[in-house]
């Protein structure tokens, strides 16, 4: 086989693997998200009068931010599932989420009296938030890890952490429609911590189950 033919064959094989992995991840994430939504509706439920409250930009912001994190982290998961794929670009885009959150926090601090900052940070459901987001993220995490086993991640712990961020974002997006705490301060503290728990669990699981 000539060198050019070998290169073309390798490129075709990598392309086929990427398509296969993308399809597997999409198929695996769909039921996981469906389970998370079903669990959310049946156990937590939507926030009372949610749709009438959507005029509050803070509510729209926290829902949109968690969905954005899910979309961006899914791109990272796709890349880490493929050996040799460049992860840096999609991973750097994740910084858009904390950047937007930091801007929202600054706006909140400027708009709210200093005496209320602690109240906004602590909120009324911090512990419930810490338990609910990982619970809702469990099925998406399991499905994504199973799909990653069909790929060939070079760094299993990193792949598991990316899966955890994606699953945690799904759980956070669901919980955001139930949560009565809308302050960006609350989101930064407690949503981030809960997603961090899921990411850590994903990293540990990936290190064990995604090794070649």
pLDDT tens string 15-24? 444 456 677 7
What tokens appear for 124 in the block? 């009324």
What pLDDT was estimated at residue 212? 67
| DSSP symbols for 146-162 | HHHTTS--SSHHHHHHH
CB 103 within 8 A of CB 184: no
What pLDDT was estimated at residue 13? 46
Crossing angle for the helix pair 192-209 and 156-176, nearest 10 degrees? 150
CA 165, distance to chain mean position in Å, is 4
What pLDDT was estimated at residue 51? 85
**Regions of the chain with pLDDT less than 70:** 1-21, 212
Q: List pLDDT tens digits, range 16-69.
A: 444 566 777 777 778 888 999 999 999 999 998 888 888 889 999 999 999 999
- How many domains, the chain? 1
Residue burial 14-46, b: 16+ Cβ < 10 Å; e: rest? eeebbeebbebbeebbeebbebbbebbeeebee
Supply the range of the domain harboring residue 53. 3-209
């Amino acid at each position: 086989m000539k060198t050019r033919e070998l290169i073309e064959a390798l490129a075709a094989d990598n392309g086929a693997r990427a398509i296969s992995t993308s399809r597997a991840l999409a198929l695996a994430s769909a039921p996981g998200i469906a389970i998370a939504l079903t669990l959310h509706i049946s156990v937590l439920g939507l926030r009372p009068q949610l749709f009438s409250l959507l005029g509050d930009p803070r509510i729209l912001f926290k829902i949109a931010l968690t969905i954005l994190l899910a979309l961006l982290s899914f791109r990272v998961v796709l890349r880490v599932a493929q050996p040799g794929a460049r992860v840096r670009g999609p991973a750097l885009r994740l910084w858009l989420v904390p950047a937007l959150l930091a801007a929202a926090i600054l706006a909140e601090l400027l708009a709210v009296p200093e005496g209320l900052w602690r109240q906004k940070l602590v909120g009324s459901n911090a512990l419930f938030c810490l338990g609910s987001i990982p619970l809702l993220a469990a099925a998406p995490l399991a499905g994504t890890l199973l799909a990653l086993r069909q790929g060939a991640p070079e760094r299993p712990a990193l792949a598991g952490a990316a899966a955890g961020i994606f699953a945690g974002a799904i759980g956070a997006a669901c919980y955001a429609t139930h949560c009565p705490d809308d302050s960006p301060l609350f989101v930064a503290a407690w949503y981030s911590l809960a997603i961090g728990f899921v990411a850590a669990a994903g990293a540990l699981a990936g290190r064990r189950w995604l090794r070649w």
